[in-house]
Amino acid sequence: MTVQYMSSITERYEQLGYTPYRWHHAPDAPPLQPLLKPLSEARLGVISTSGAYVVGQVAYHYKDDTSVRAIAKDTPTESIHFSHITENYLENPRKDPNCIMPIESLREAEASGLIGELAPELFSCMGGVYSQRRVREEIIPDLRAKFKNQAVDTVLLVPM
């Protein structure tokens, strides 16, 4: 089943009598950087906006939670859970977390040499943050620092 996410959220806001959701439209495309080495030699960082967390970590709360969770690359799949403002979209990921935190596929890519190395920790945030300012000022700098500390060459974004 295909979910038309943006129209679904817009309709839900209307039905609940909320102020219409203001979707962000960036004025410019993001500055992209060419990869300076082959992917087979690169260290790959990962960010999923799925609200993934490991059993024992604190789950996300639903009102503009800008925190980030680290998930060790050797975490067993069954230890990955989700909490997200759009809970109704998590049915399949609860059965198979790899739907939106593809940790097994990434470990396979590392083992096969498709990627040089998977960073020691993958990261997750709760992508349903309504404040664009808080995303720019809190989440992005936090992730940038975490990726810099892991010396990643490139980052895979897995949007929810």
Give the chain's mean pLDDT. Answer: 87
- 124 within a domain of the structure (yes/no): yes
Burial class of residue 16 in the structure, from the number of CB atoms within 10 Å of its CB (0-12 exposed, 13-18 middle, 19+ buried): exposed
Q: What mean pLDDT is predicted for residues 32-48?
A: 94
pLDDT for 40: 97
Nearest 5°: CA angle at 32, between 50 and 68?
25
- 17 within a domain of the structure (yes/no): no
Residue 15 — pLDDT band, cuts 50, 70, 90?
confident
Structural domain count of the chain: 1
Q: Residue 133: which H helix or E strand, with range?
A: helix 132-134
Residues of the domain holding 104: 37-158
- 65 within a domain of the structure (yes/no): yes
| pLDDT tens digits, one per residue of 53-62 | 999 999 888 7
- Asked if 49 contacts 121 with a C-beta cutoff of 8 angstroms, the reply is no
* Furthest CA-CA distance within the chain: 51
- 132 within a domain of the structure (yes/no): yes
Q: Which residue has the higher pLDDT, 130 or 76?
A: 76
Residue 19 — pLDDT band, cuts 50, 70, 90?
confident
Q: Is the pTM of this model over 0.85?
A: no
- 76 within a domain of the structure (yes/no): yes
- 4 within a domain of the structure (yes/no): no
Q: Which of 91-95, 121-125, 133-137 has the highest mean pLDDT?
A: 121-125
Share of the chain above pLDDT 90, in %: 50
- 26 within a domain of the structure (yes/no): no
**Does residue 89 carry a pLDDT above 70?**
no
Share of the chain above pLDDT 70, in %: 95
- 90 within a domain of the structure (yes/no): yes
